[in-house]
Structure 1
């Protein structure tokens, strides 16, 4: 079976491509590296020719307005339109748990655009929402050389390993399209401030951390429901403490991605 992974060079995409190929599928890792541009549509028709499934795990290069909304609007429309022309049997799109509850954030407003386009599409589809990846916890650490306390939201999160998300996406993609929204989360809940502090310590960053309900996350405020899944979520097996121990033991660099929209604030 031919499966196209849009965003196949990214954090989840690379893991997804590996798992699908190990499962014997003919996989196209569609990205600008392979001549496919989801924003302009360049190379999409050729990539989707003969494919049965498209899995969209793309992410915007900028989280600023209007760039982030423009990206998800164009990329999603192009993928869906090309999928309809190619007769795609199943379009799977990866989004974020809590998207509809964080509409004060430019990023989550843009993800809502993506979700709305997928739900309205005539292409058979399944929408998947995942909680925050373990690998992105480092991106929440404010960069500063002084010793001022770091203020972080104390909202609840239920993060998940990117590899577990890839495994779930494989299972969902090769199943019949449901036109439903499936949530994926990790096995444990944490206060965001506590979780990020663990990662800070792994960087030997011992700045004081203050759990602050007024600290923003991607421009929005969190409560204990904002980023946590509903009762029907698929629960992945990997615990954060085990993942972090493995990262520390193997000296793997945790991605420390800078986002222009501040997701934590300091006083």
Structure 2
């Protein structure tokens, strides 16, 4: 199968590209680094020539609801329009568990993306996954103020990015199935504990400052609304196993 991975150089995308190639598929990686811009559509038509299936793991790092909505609206519309023109038969998109319970910031953008995919005119599959293990170092970097790191009170169930990528390639191979079961990690965790473990492992002397996030987003974080419901798909690698594997990477 000829597969295009939008966001192919990202946290999940580079795994999806590698896994699909290992399984014998012809893979086109789509990213700005490779000359394709989803937001303005530059290079998309050429990249999608003869592509049968698109896996969209593209994204943006922002806390702004407007920026997230604008990005996912433009990128998804452009990707779907170019896909229809190229004759793409299946559009697979990665989303986030719990976005309908915390619809602000990135989550609001993902809700818009899901709606675009459902009404985009190409048979589709949607996979919602929890935060990746890599979310922890990313959040530390974004929320550090000198020797302090601000950590929201958050129940989470992190999953390995590589396992998410494998699930997306599975979905591409299976054909359009609409929304498939959510995917989470093997165990529920508290973000504060994960941050502490990462800081200790990487020998960073930072003090954790718990933050009570207000509004629906904060409530969803605290109450476990961002954790998959019973019966969801479950990954294998725990956060601590991922952390130990960093030494071998």
SS of 1:174's equivalent in the other structure is helix
TM-score, scaled to structure 2: 0.90
2:80 match: 80
- Number of aligned positions between the proteins: 246
Q: Distance in 1 between matches of 2:39 and 2:237?
A: 34
TM-score, scaled to structure 1: 0.84
Whether the 8 Å CA contact 1:193–1:210 is kept in 2: the answer is no
Gaps of 5+ in 2: none
1:161-180 residue CA offsets vs partner (Å, 9 max, x unmatched): 11111111111111021112
Q: Distance in 2 between matches of 1:242 and 1:90?
A: 34
Verify: 1:45 aligned to 2:40, yes or no.
no
Whether the 8 Å CA contact 1:16–1:167 is kept in 2: the answer is yes
Q: Distance in 1 between matches of 2:83 and 2:150?
A: 44
1:234 match: 233
Moved more, 75-84 or 137-146: 137-146
Q: How does 1:49-198 map to 2 (within 5 A)?
A: 49-60=49-60, 62-103=62-103, 105-141=104-140, 142-146=143-147, 152-198=151-197
Gaps of 5+ in 1: 253-267
Shift in Å at residue 206 of structure 1? Answer: 4.3
The structure with more helix, counted as a fraction of residues: 2
Q: 1:10 to 1:161 in 2, by over 3 A?
A: same
1:258 match: none
Alpha-carbon RMSD across the aligned residues, in angstroms, is: 2.2
